Amino acid sequence: MSDERLIEELKQNEAEPFLPIERTLVRVSLTVGLVLLVVLALINHFLPAA
């Protein structure tokens, strides 16, 4: 019975929008990840492993 109740409660939950700080954190995290990926690609290009 608890599974059915849990499913019903999850269906009733509405999606909460991101807070502005959460949007900023997501953008910063993605930017840092992409920049580091580019830096590692450049290092690999100019200093390939022997």
pLDDT tens series, the chain, 50 aa: 588 888 888 888 888 899 999 999 999 999 999 999 999 999 999 998 86
Q: In this structure, what token pair is assigned to residue 36? A: 């580091």
Q: In this structure, what token pair is assigned to residue 45? A: 């290009």
Residue-level pLDDT at 1: 54
Q: Phi, psi at residue 23, to the nearest 5°?
A: -60, -45
User: Which candidate, 41, 21, 39, places its Cα nearest to that of 29?
Assistant: 21
For the chain, domain boundaries: 14-50
